[in-house]
């Protein structure tokens, strides 16, 4: 039982938030109106009564390619209310408070991805005089790999879209369903593909998700979008602005249920309350049976959605395996998962729901165990498991409940169609959000607003830390290197490392109208003097196009180290005998045997999947091999 006296500071905080907010984010669901009927098509009926997607490459134009994305003001057909007015944002860019079974695969190759690295890469053993992350970041994620290599299939762990994933037929044999559960999760900060390896080769993003939703709604289908959480993977002000952008997008796309993941719950409690709390007539999609911010009154434990003649009961849970991670976050209140679910499930059954869904932000193993420990759910949506969803709904040993995964980084959406057919009550398809789906204009507009928020705040407003270099070293720019290393300098100028910053100012893709050179997460591999994995500059590193024009591009010093001492000694600006000159020259050298690790800090799974192939480093090196001093 929640004690008001024992949590008086939280009560006061919550009251202040609720009174001041005005709850700009609203998405209270209504019962959907009946849509026009659609001719049924014959479909296969597996023995278990669940229809799964067909495998194999597409040979016909996808039905999902026949429509365009909606305009900003176009209403959906799902019957849910959109947000009641825009969020009020203060000058800092924030909401103001004044207004495991093995995968079952068909024949096509399944690319996989890895979780984004958040830890600092291990320092190299050589040249201890300077923080290696400071002075030896990788070359930028060159757009050379953006050019499709038809002769080479995607690496097994690349995450690149396959031919089949670019030519999917979406629910092509489905009769009109009563409702379609549109399931997503594990966005982990990837609101869009970065574009470094070519947008046409990458999967995911809110742009494409919105387009897929629009195409399905234009069929007259009632969608019930749900998300199993982990919208963010980082903390700090940029992450909070990105989370706000995501919540705004969820409301535009008319999400009916969502839960906060373990990483989301590490964001500012004030910010989370402002964006996720439900109160009075204003309801956000966020629910949880066992995790809430400050006061449980503002986090509904479940949601009942009536659509297409169905009464769908949905609840969500944070797995016990994640709760330990939140012990230092005192505003996050949690309870044991199974114990909390039992009570909520009984309440949903009492409301005579005919389809029960659990959004389990838990490992795959714990999600399966919850289905066994709390029997009665028809479907468990797990945030755990593999980087890609399975090709069919999964059986859970010891349970009649079915399970689906959502994959990683928001690269997939899962469709579960509900039918009154006793033989085939459910149909299933996973959909890769590939370049098959055009960008949604209203999501592009929202992304542009997100970048504008970052620009208006600047690095100081975003509270981006600046890391000092040892020995008072400074970055001097690649042009200074060219005075003695003219051949190497010319190789650099002829490479795409030289134009790395320009590719942010004027992106060479269909999203060129949205510059990204104020975004720390993009700048870190596209300028000189930044930490490529932790998204902050080193002292004297790139500050802006105007202040530090000599540090544009992914320059020499990202691999060879800040060059101020070496340049000063060679130019005679400081006294240096032969021994000191030799020492400083040696410090600037990066042995080829160590170079791959440096390159991989930017040419990672996310930004440069082609770099992960065996022998890829040697191929790339041939493009930028450069001699020493002339």
CATH number, position 286? 3.60.21.10
Q: Do the domain assignments include residue 452?
A: no
pTM score, whole prediction: 0.77
> Considering 364, 392, 418, which residue would you say is the last residue of a domain?
418
Q: Do the domain assignments include residue 199?
A: yes
pLDDT recorded at residue 14:
52
Domain identity same for 539 and 392: no
The Cα–Cα gap between 186 and 407 comes to 7
Domain identity same for 244 and 341: yes
Domain identity same for 480 and 607: yes
What domain count does the chain have? 2
| Main-chain dihedrals φ then ψ at residue 179, nearest 5 degrees | -160, 155
Contact at 8 Å (CB) between 490 and 560?
no
CA distances from 326 to 183, 272, 320, 335, 472 (A): 26, 15, 11, 12, 39
Q: Do the domain assignments include residue 267?
A: yes
Q: Do the domain assignments include residue 470?
A: yes
Domain identity same for 217 and 356: yes
Contact at 8 Å (CB) between 529 and 475?
yes
Domain identity same for 284 and 370: yes
Residue 270 is encoded by which pair of tokens?
A: 């004030």
pLDDT recorded at residue 25:
39
Sign of CA dihedral 10, 12, 17, 23: positive
> Coil, helix or strand for 184?
strand
Residues in the chain: 630
> Coil, helix or strand for 58?
coil
The Cα–Cα gap between 620 and 524 comes to 20
Q: Do the domain assignments include residue 317?
A: yes
The Cα–Cα gap between 154 and 160 comes to 6
Domain identity same for 344 and 475: no
* Structural domain that includes position 314: 178-418
* Exposure class string for 208-239: b at 16+ Cβ within 10 A, else e: bbbbbbbbbbebebbbbbbbbbbbbbbebbbb
* Beta partners for residue 487, in sequence order: none
> Considering 418, 435, 450, which residue would you say is the last residue of a domain?
418
> Coil, helix or strand for 92?
coil
The Cα–Cα gap between 366 and 361 comes to 9
Domain identity same for 402 and 484: no
Domain identity same for 480 and 359: no
Contact at 8 Å (CB) between 262 and 230?
yes
Domain identity same for 384 and 244: yes
Burial of 279 (0-12, 13-18, 19+ CB in 10 A): middle
245: number of Cβ within 10 Å = 21
Token pair 């365009």: residue: 68
The Cα–Cα gap between 394 and 120 comes to 37
Closest CA to 520 of 577, 466, 440: 466
Domain identity same for 617 and 568: yes
Q: Do the domain assignments include residue 558?
A: yes
Domain identity same for 374 and 505: no
Residue 294 is encoded by which pair of tokens?
A: 């400050």
> Considering 391, 418, 445, which residue would you say is the last residue of a domain?
418
Domain identity same for 139 and 189: no
Q: Do the domain assignments include residue 11?
A: no
Which 8-state DSSP code applies to residue 325?
A: G
| Main-chain dihedrals φ then ψ at residue 394, nearest 5 degrees | -100, 140
Q: Do the domain assignments include residue 369?
A: yes
Which residues of the chain carry a pLDDT beneath 50? Answer: 1-9, 11-13, 15-50, 52-157
Helix (H) or strand (E) holding 371: helix 364-373
């Amino acid at each position: 039982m929640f004690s008001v006296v024992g949590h008086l500071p939280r009560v006061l905080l919550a009251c202040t938030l609720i009174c001041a907010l005005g709850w700009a984010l609203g998405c209270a669901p209504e019962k959907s109106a009946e849509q026009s009927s659609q001719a049924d098509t014959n479909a296969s009926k597996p023995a278990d009564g669940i229809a799964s997607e067909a495998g194999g490459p597409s040979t016909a134009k996808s039905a999902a390619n026949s429509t365009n994305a909606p305009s900003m003001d176009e209403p959906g057909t799902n019957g849910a209310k959109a947000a009641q007015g825009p969020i009020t944002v203060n000058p800092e860019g924030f909401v103001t408070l004044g207004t495991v079974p093995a995968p079952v695969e068909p024949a096509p190759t399944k690319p996989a991805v890895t979780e984004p690295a958040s830890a600092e890469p291990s320092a190299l053993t050589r040249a201890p005089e300077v923080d290696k992350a400071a002075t030896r970041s990788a070359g930028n994620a060159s757009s050379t790999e953006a050019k499709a290599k038809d002769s080479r299939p995607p690496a097994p762990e690349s995450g690149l879209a396959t031919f089949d994933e670019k030519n999917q037929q979406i629910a092509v044999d489905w009769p009109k369903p009563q409702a379609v559960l549109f399931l997503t999760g594990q966005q982990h900060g990837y609101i869009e593909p970065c574009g470094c390896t070519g947008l046409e080769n990458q999967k995911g993003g809110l742009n494409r998700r919105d387009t897929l939703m629009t195409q399905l709604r234009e069929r007259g289908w009632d969608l019930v979008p749900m998300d199993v959480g982990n919208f963010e993977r980082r903390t700090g002000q940029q992450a909070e602005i990105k989370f706000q952008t995501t919540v705004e997008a969820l409301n535009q796309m008319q999400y009916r249920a969502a839960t906060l993941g373990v990483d989301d719950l590490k964001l500012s409690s004030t910010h989370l309350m402002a964006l996720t709390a439900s109160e009075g007539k204003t309801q956000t999609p966020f629910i949880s049976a066992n995790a809430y911010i400050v006061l449980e009154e503002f986090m509904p434990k479940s949601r009942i959605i009536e659509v297409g003649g169905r009464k769908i009961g949905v609840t969500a849970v944070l797995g016990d395996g994640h709760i330990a991670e939140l012990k230092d976050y005192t505003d996050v209140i949690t309870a044991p998962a199974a114990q909390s679910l039992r009570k909520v499930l009984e309440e949903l059954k009492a409301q005579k729901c005919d389809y029960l869904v659990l959004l389990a932000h838990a490992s795959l193993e714990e999600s399966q165990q919850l289905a066994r420990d709390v029997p009665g759910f028809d479907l468990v949506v797990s945030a755990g498991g593999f980087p890609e969803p399975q090709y069919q709904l999964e059986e859970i040993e010891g349970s009649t409940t079915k399970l689906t995964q959502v994959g990683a980084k928001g690269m997939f959406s899962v469709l579960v169609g509900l039918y009154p057919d006793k033989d085939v009550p459910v149909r299933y398809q996973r959909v890769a959000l590939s370049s098959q789906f055009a960008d949604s204009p209203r999501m592009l507009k929202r992304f542009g607003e997100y970048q504008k928020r970052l620009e208006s705040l600047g690095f100081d407003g975003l509270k981006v830390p600046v890391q000092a270099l040892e020995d008072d070293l400074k970055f001097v720019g690649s042009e200074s290197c060219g005075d003695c290393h003219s051949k190497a300098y010319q190789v650099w100028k002829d490479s795409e490392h030289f134009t790395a910053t320009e590719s942010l100012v004027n992106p060479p893709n269909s999203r060129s109208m949205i510059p990204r050179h104020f975004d720390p997460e993009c700048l870190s591999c596209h300028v000189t003097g930044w930490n490529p994995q932790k998204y902050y500059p080193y002292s004297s590193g790139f500050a802006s196009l105007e202040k530090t024009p000599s540090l544009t591009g992914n320059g020499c010093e990202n691999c060879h180290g800040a060059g101020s001492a070496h340049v000063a000694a060679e130019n005679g600006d400081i006294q240096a005998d032969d021994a000191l000159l030799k020492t400083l020259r040696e410090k600037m050298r990066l042995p080829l045997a160590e170079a791959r690790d440096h390159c991989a800090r930017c040419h990672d799974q996310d930004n440069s999947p082609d770099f992960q192939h065996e022998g890829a480093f040697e191929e790339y090196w041939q493009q930028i091999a450069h001699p020493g001093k002339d």
